[in-house]
Amino acid sequence: MLLSNHWLSAANCIPSPNFNERPEGTEISLLVIHNISLPLGEFGGDYIEQLFTNCLDCNIHPSFQDLHGLEVSSHLLIDRQGQLSQFVPFNRRAWHAGESNFCGIQNCNDFSIGIELEGTDDSPYTDVQYQQLASICRLLMQTYPGISPQRIVGHCDIAPDRKTDPGIAFNWTYFRGQLGS
């Protein structure tokens, strides 16, 4: 797996308009793990890609009503089969964390990379998702030395009053074993 101009060579490149520049001089020093499924609990399809590219028809499903006008993105999505889609180059600021705080520093989007796992808080993730995530995390730690195993966290860790992902089904011990930390 290689990076070329901050894009993962193994990923399907699907550029999102939902990003901007990081504040000048900001070091990438945090990796945030999320989960997503659209509709909730359903896997497969193009709805996640459509959401991250502002192409989701929010009238298709009743649960999409709250997504009207939402502009969000993540750097990377790992689907249930381990397929990778990248929406924002890693050196740019994706809009994944929202109101957030890590170690007293606000606005985690400024200094973090966001990786979405297709899943839910209470659905076990697939082995291939863990393998892909660990492989990507090792590459990102080599490329962006500010990221360490201790600076790989869940969305729930940086926005505990709002978010629960990656959820109780995410096996941190198994993931850390795959990561080698």
Q: Which residues are catalytic?
A: 116
- 21 Cβ neighbours under 8 A, 6+ residues apart: 92, 93
Q: How far is CA 178 from CA 119, 124, 127, 132, 156, in A?
A: 19, 16, 10, 10, 21
DSSP state of 160: T
